[in-house]
Structure 1
Amino acid sequence: MRLRIALSVAALLILSAPVASAQVEPLTIVHSERIPLGNSTLTASFSDWPIRAGRSLDFTFEPAGGIEGRTGTVRAIAPSGEPKALGIVGLDGEADMKLQRHPQARHAWGLDVVALPEEGMWRFEFTVPGVGTGTLPVLAGPTPGPPAALSWTVGMIPWTIALLLLGRKWWRVRKQAVLAWSD
């Protein structure tokens, strides 16, 4: 009887669970820029604007005429002037990243949930073979929120209190154990 109830509950949970292949929400674009790309253009769009350093956002890149049958690369140039690998999951981690379809905007290439690690003027250099090259300057503002040191300090206060309380309890138990042995 218990086995039947357990199997019924398990079947109900499995059948009522959301489908893994459910349609993802469409990407919300709040700002777009047109970039000259050889004799054509490329539209770069952003899910957050203005861009802040250290804050995740989505980029999409769509050349005029679409991405079907085309390939392309993008190189991120940091404010220091050095090419920078953005550490994007699924890409090779090189400064020259092969453009891939965005998971939520399948009609365009894109970078999914990426953050520019430092403040300043970034440049994205695009190359689409047979079409041309183009550059997009993007200003990344200061990191939102309080400084990291202050955030860590405030966040560690509860752990510090817990360690002090545990240390005090341990010291009392240790002291009692030593006194018990010496009696």
Structure 2
Amino acid sequence: MRAVVIAVLTLFVLTPVASARAEALTLVHAERVPLGAGILTASFSAWPIRAGRSLDFTFEPDGGIDGHTGALRAIAPSGEAHALGIVGLDGNVDMKLPRHPRARDVWGLDVVALPEEGLWRFEFTVDGAATATMPVPVGPAPGPPPAVSWAVGMAPWAVALVVLSRRWWRVRGRWDRGWNG
């Protein structure tokens, strides 16, 4: 019995540690773009990219990121510079690139969604001088149009509203008759 108790306690103590470990970053596509005298490699966790669908981006110049600074400007298909709204960044359209949380040896953006389809343009600046521009094609959002999704999602609430309204009318009728009927 004592061995079973020790095994269960060990399981409870070690389980949160195992589940707290960050999942490895899986990259499925990479693009190499000229950056000054070198190359910048941009990698993606999903390809092709779909509008509104979260994915990870990583960016790495030749020789790595140690001792370098990088910035990214995302230009939407409409031509406007777009702040991607990443948690921890200041919302500035010229984003200072942080290290990726699950791949600390490269710069990256974790779980970001590009909000509209079309040809995006990523403009990189490394160490304030070397620049690179990369076109990023973004396809339509997956799934049905938002109006259809909302209608399907709200249908159970509409049924519940009808059922609750009918019950309320029945109870109200009994209340008006003094609960005698």
Q: TM-score, normalised by structure 2?
A: 0.89
Partners of 2:97 and 2:63 lie apart in 1 by: 16
Equivalent AA in structure 1 for residue 36 of structure 2: G
| Deviation of 1:131 (Å) | 5.4
| Deviation of 1:159 (Å) | 0.6
Contact residue 73 and residue 127 of structure 1 kept, 8 A = yes
* More displaced 10-residue stretch of structure 1: 66-75 or 11-20: 11-20
Q: Name the structure where strand makes up a greater proportion of residues.
A: 2
* More displaced 10-residue stretch of structure 1: 82-91 or 11-20: 11-20
Unaligned runs of 5+ in 2: 1-5
Partners of 2:148 and 2:161 lie apart in 1 by: 20
Matched residue of 1:62: which SS? strand
Partners of 1:25 and 1:106 lie apart in 2 by: 13
Contact residue 72 and residue 129 of structure 1 kept, 8 A = yes
| Deviation of 1:96 (Å) | 0.7
| 1:123-134 aligned within 5 A | 123-129=121-127, 132-134=130-132
Partners of 2:15 and 2:28 lie apart in 1 by: 32
| Deviation of 1:21 (Å) | 8.6
What are the superposed Cα offsets for residues 112-154 of structure 1, whole Å, 9 maximum, x if unpaired? Answer: 0000000000000000116500001000001111001001101
* Equivalent in the alignment of 1:89: 87
> Percent same amino acid among aligned pairs?
67
* Equivalent in the alignment of 1:46: 44
* Equivalent in the alignment of 2:134: 136
Structure 1 consecutive aligned stretches of length 4 or more whose deviation exceeds 4 Å: 10-14
Contact residue 51 and residue 138 of structure 2 kept, 8 A = yes
Matched residue of 1:17: which SS? helix
Equivalent AA in structure 2 for residue 106 of structure 1: R
2:159 corresponds to which of 158, 161, 168: 161
| 1:23-172 aligned within 5 A | 23-129=21-127, 132-172=130-170
Partners of 2:129 and 2:94 lie apart in 1 by: 17
Contact residue 37 and residue 131 of structure 1 kept, 8 A = no
Partners of 2:128 and 2:145 lie apart in 1 by: 46
Structural RMSD (CA): 2.1
Unaligned runs of 5+ in 1: 1-7
Change (3 A) 1:171 1:22: closer
